[in-house]
Amino acid sequence: MLPLSRRDLIRRAAAAGGLATAAVVAPGALRSPAAGSAATSSTATATATASVATLRTRYEVGARNAAGYRPVVRTAGEPHLTRTELGVPAQPGRASSRQGLLAFVQLSDVHIVDAQSPLRVEWTDRFDDPGALPASGLFTSAYRAQEMLTAQVSDSMVRAINEVASGPVTGQPLALAIQTGDNSDNSQLNEVRWNIEILNGAWVHPDSGDRTRYEGVADGHRDSYDPAYWHPHGNPLGTPVDRPRQEFGFPVVPGLLDAARNPFKAKGLAMPWYSVFGNHDGLVQGNFPAATMQLDLLAQGGLKVISPPAGAHPNALLDELAEDPVGLLTRLLSSPLNPGVRLVTPDPDRTLLTRKQVVQQHFELGGAPTGHGFTQDNLDRGTAYYTFDRGEFRFVVMDTVNPNGYYDGSLDLTQFLWLSDLLARSADKVVLVFSHHPSASMENPFVGTGGDPEPRIYGPAVLHTLLAHPQVIAWVNGHTHANTITPRRRPDGGGLWEITTASHIDWPQQARVIEVADNTDGTLSIFATMVDHAAPASYNGNVSNPTQLASLARELSANDWHDHSKGAGTPADRNVELLVANPLA
């Protein structure tokens, strides 16, 4: 069978979705952990997590107004739904004897965006607008009206997590936070630093290029005005109203472009935080190897594509993006026939980072713990997988990004062997595994072009290995921008839970608190609880501070015309109790 090209693989992924996975192994021996402090009930402790946890209330999308725009409204919360698909029964009375063991929070797909970067490809988004033909589904995340406000959303989430402070079921203090990848959007230095600075509680200045004005697709620059984008200050005199306002009722928000660029003092997490590497952290636009001089020069340079050439065919652009992104961008920027190119202010802070350089930033900018999980060995070797322990829990962080390109993931052989050996030495621990990609999004076969010649290991093999070790109770990941929780069973009973959490950039802009409790009956309960960021339901026309800007960002995400609303998942993917055998019983 001939190997797939990038173009073939991208097209196949668009048509067929992910690769289904399953595996079988035998269970292992169990022993009982030491008892912790008794937990209170979910109902009694929900009030301790304040309004941002979604047990009492949560945010939902309201009805459209006459212009087609939807508000965000607060509605009834969701209790924990008990799930027993691994064949582990939920014994009556377990709540009264339950012992809390661990609580932490997962952040995923934060996507801190430099919305003014010349290396963004917002102009492809229109090829998947409603009614566009042929719609491929590949460009729907190329542009979002709210992406200029991602730094403020991240700060608002930090404030919410600090407010929650402890698990709503067990009452255990949140021991740590972990970002499961796509922490930045375009592997740029400034984006990586903004992300770290927000979590560390530093001053953040989410601006690039000209520090006196916004330079991007959302401004009112007459020569490059394009009605395909939302222009919050309105359209220049004599030009048509932009499509988001005309068709979807988007508002005019005076002063937004300056407010979005204003520096602010981030709150900072009140707990240690750890980082996982995602495809947008290591690849340009999450797809193309970042460590190329041509792309780096384009990122730092003074030309930005605002609109595609008239008559450009999306299939032809897809082929060029898949096969030669540098050539396509260079052609668009240099064509005298393309009026959709504008001058912007060059900025060396937009330089593209290698994986090793991203790891280095986590050391240089400080915060706890040193390196945020990354080790000196990661720094020396340019890797991004590691492990650490919290009492009887072992956290295993994988790097599923293929440096050779393409948004889906896989493991290199050296890392896979490290994982197998580590699990073999972890029989006395309860193991939680973390990565950016879920198992069904790990089919990336590319070898060699990005500097990594090792054969790739796909999701089914990784899942088979995890299931071979009964001490692994959960695999926590992101990437899909959708909440899903999937039981991964062994045919002879038991298994692990694959917990996939949606993004900060798309609706519903939530994080997830995860708790582990010992039911003292040979089973563990994994409680997952969604958390809204701290901004109110409506910004009420106020863009004076980061929290109000985060409120507007949530509202804009609820009105995305590409409709990312499925990211919220079903009730069974949000607030749940997941039963699993206690591997140490």
Model confidence pLDDT, tens digit, residues 59-108: 999 999 999 999 999 999 999 999 999 999 999 999 999 999 999 999 99
Helices (H), 133-262: 150-164, 189-200, 243-248, 256-261
pTM, whole model, 2 decimals?
0.91
**What are the structure tokens assigned to 17, written together?**
């979705």
Q: Could you tell me the pLDDT band of residue 340, with boundaries at 50, 70 and 90? A: confident
Q: What is the pLDDT of residue 175?
A: 98
Thinking of the domain 6-27+48-129+139-581, which architecture would CATH place it in? 4-Layer Sandwich (3.60)
Q: What is the DSSP letter of 460?
A: H
Query: How far, in Å, CA of 97 to CA of 535, rounded?
Result: 36
- Model pLDDT for residues 371-399, shown as the tens digit of each residue: 999 999 999 999 999 999 999 999 999 99
The owner of tokens 């193309």 is: 288
Q: What are phi and psi of 552, to 5 degrees?
A: -60, -40
| Rounded distance between C-alpha atoms, residue 221 and residue 219, angstroms | 6
1-15, 45-59, 332-346, 438-452: least confident range: 1-15
Has residue 48 got a pLDDT over 80? no
Largest CA distance in the chain: 75
Of residues 527 and 333, more confidence is placed in 527
The percentage of residues in the chain with a pLDDT greater than 70, rounded to a whole number, is 88
Side chain identity at 375, as an amino acid letter?
T
CA distances for 339 relative to 295, 331, 333, angstroms? 22, 13, 10
C-beta separation of 431 from 496 below 8 A: no
pLDDT band at 317 (very low <50, low <70, confident <90, very high): confident
